Amino acid sequence: MAKTRVPVRRTAKLYIAGEFPRSESGRSYEALAHDGRLLARAAMASRKDLRDAVKAARAAQPGWAGKTAFNRGQILYRVAELMEGRRGQFEAELDDAGAEDPRRGVDASIDRWIWYAGWADKIGQLLGGTNPVAGPYFNFTIPEPTGVVGIVAPPDRSLLGLVSQLAPAIVSGNTAVVLASEPSPLPAVSLGEVLATSDVPGGVVNILTGLTAELVPWLAGHMDVNAIDVTGVPPDLAVEAERLSAENVKRVVRAREVDPFSEQAQSPYDVTALMEFKTVWHPMGA
């Protein structure tokens, strides 16, 4: 009698510091398809997992920011290359999530990595510069990364929405702690697998799956997170997130409400929204 093969069910883990740990709490939750099928049991990240992710992001930030802008652009391009090779997997996951046009969503996500990769070595020239001053001084404006950025992915745009927030955040030298879409976490898990096999250093991007309402307050209130993108935060939780962010004057940003496939959905100002502009004075002749 022929044996019936049992397929290997996926174990969706966290992605922290370049590794794939399970949640320290041991908890998980069911990731379901739009038709109710069980796709996987995703790790339910805890407060401790979030702290570990922030610690990894902080440790990786100086090295990532210290790379040349051209090199960061090359690395983001490499992420797009690897996503292209795994597009079938991403399309299947978006289809399971009920996306209207999975192929279009994957195309746009890959193209968005390429688009922001091209800005890596141009932001400084575009928005930095030498300022005229009334005195014997040179005056320079230099854009720098903010530091560690928290990102809450939109629940209904689990891949394109996430990429649209993540790519402009890290291209300038920031590192990120990402909360994946709660109802559709698998595209973010697959993106973590792509990042792990690309040239992105461990800790630059850390991806947590779990309950948004449980994790957002800890992310917003963490004193070592410098900025937070609350695009995916539910309206009833957004006010609390902003209040907690004020404790360390954390910058709060939110994506513009535009068609995610339109040209208006990508902008160099999404990069500078998570950057600092430092002004330096230097005496002439010194």
Tell me, yes or no, whether 99 lies in a domain.
yes
Q: What is the pLDDT of residue 138?
A: 84
Kindly report the average pLDDT of the chain as a whole number. 93
Q: What is the pLDDT of residue 21?
A: 95
The continuous run of DSSP H or E covering 47 comes out as helix 47-66
> Poorest-confidence range of 16-30, 78-92, 136-150, 167-181?
136-150
* 100: confidence class by pLDDT, cuts 50, 70, 90: confident
Q: What is the pLDDT of residue 137?
A: 81
* 135: confidence class by pLDDT, cuts 50, 70, 90: confident
Tell me, yes or no, whether 3 lies in a domain.
no
Q: What is the largest CA-CA distance in the chain?
A: 91
Q: Model confidence over 168-223: pLDDT tens digits? A: 999 999 999 999 999 999 999 999 999 999 999 999 999 999 999 999 999 999 99
Range 249-260 average pLDDT:
91
Tell me, yes or no, whether 133 lies in a domain.
yes
What's the structural domain count of the chain? 1
Q: What is the pLDDT of residue 92?
A: 95
Q: What is the pLDDT of residue 3?
A: 79
Q: Model confidence over 58-73: pLDDT tens digits? A: 999 999 999 999 999 9
Q: What is the pLDDT of residue 286?
A: 55
Q: Model confidence over 12-26: pLDDT tens digits? A: 999 999 999 999 999
Tell me, yes or no, whether 67 lies in a domain.
yes
Q: What is the pLDDT of residue 8?
A: 80
- The pTM score is 0.92
> Poorest-confidence range of 47-51, 91-95, 210-214, 274-278?
274-278
Question: For residue 121, what are the domain limits?
Answer: 12-283
Q: For residues 37 and 223, is the Cβ–Cβ distance under 8 A? A: no
Range 134-162 average pLDDT:
91
Q: Is the pLDDT of residue 79 over 60?
A: yes
CATH number reported for the structural domain that contains residue 220 in this entry: 3.40.605.10
E strands along the chain, which residues? 11-12, 28-32, 38-43, 129-130, 137-145, 148-152, 175-179, 205-208, 227-229, 251-253, 275-283
Q: What is the pLDDT of residue 123?
A: 86
Tell me, yes or no, whether 2 lies in a domain.
no
Tell me, yes or no, whether 201 lies in a domain.
yes
Q: What is the pLDDT of residue 1?
A: 58
Tell me, yes or no, whether 6 lies in a domain.
no
Q: For residues 54 and 177, is the Cβ–Cβ distance under 8 A? A: yes
Between CA 164 and CA 150 the distance in angstroms is 14
Between CA 189 and CA 264 the distance in angstroms is 27
Measured distance between the N- and C-terminal CA atoms of the chain, rounded to whole angstroms: 88
Q: Is the pLDDT of residue 10 over 90?
A: no
Tell me, yes or no, whether 7 lies in a domain.
no
Q: At what angle do helices 186-196 and 160-170 cross, to 10 degrees?
A: 40
